[in-house]
Structure 1
Amino acid sequence: MIAEDRIHAVLVDIFSDVFLRDDIVISNALSARDVEEWDSFKHIEIIMASEAAFGVKFTSAELDRLSTLGDMVKIIAERGKLPD
């Protein structure tokens, strides 16, 4: 199982790349409502970048249940691996 702080460290880079800014504070409570530019296209970019970074493939059912970043972090912690 990967520690949440290590997952968050990788997500900081993903969010910086996706949103082209580095002021987004990563937390388990973060959701699309908290970031003005977070639309459906950005959501797909976050999912794809996270799948690639952590070597995990989210199922459709898992994607339907994602309401906060913490929901995704839990899945990554259980099934993912840290990037090399």
Structure 2
Amino acid sequence: MLSMRRPPSIIQFTKILGSLAKTNHFPTAISLFQQLQARGIAPNLFTLSILINCCCGMGCVMLAFSVLAKIFRMGFQPDTSVGSWISV
């Protein structure tokens, strides 16, 4: 998918990352995310949330916090309801 002339949207990649996370293929999901970043494909909030889940599943809590910091740098802030985010 990454080698296609016009790569699919981040939504399609997020679906793949979600499937990898559900099957506990955390390193593969993180590797795919890194390849997306290297090709300049911008992640969305859902993509980064899946990445945090993968980091925690691998026991890389510090990496998960760095992804959380990226979410804040992108301008998202937590909402008052649990698990919700708002764009500022």
TM tier, shorter chain?
0.3 to 0.5
More strand by share: 2
| TM-score, normalised via structure 2 length | 0.32
Structure with max Cα Rg: 2
- Which protein has greater RCO, CA pairs closer than 8 Å, 6+ apart? 1
| TM-score, normalised via structure 1 length | 0.33
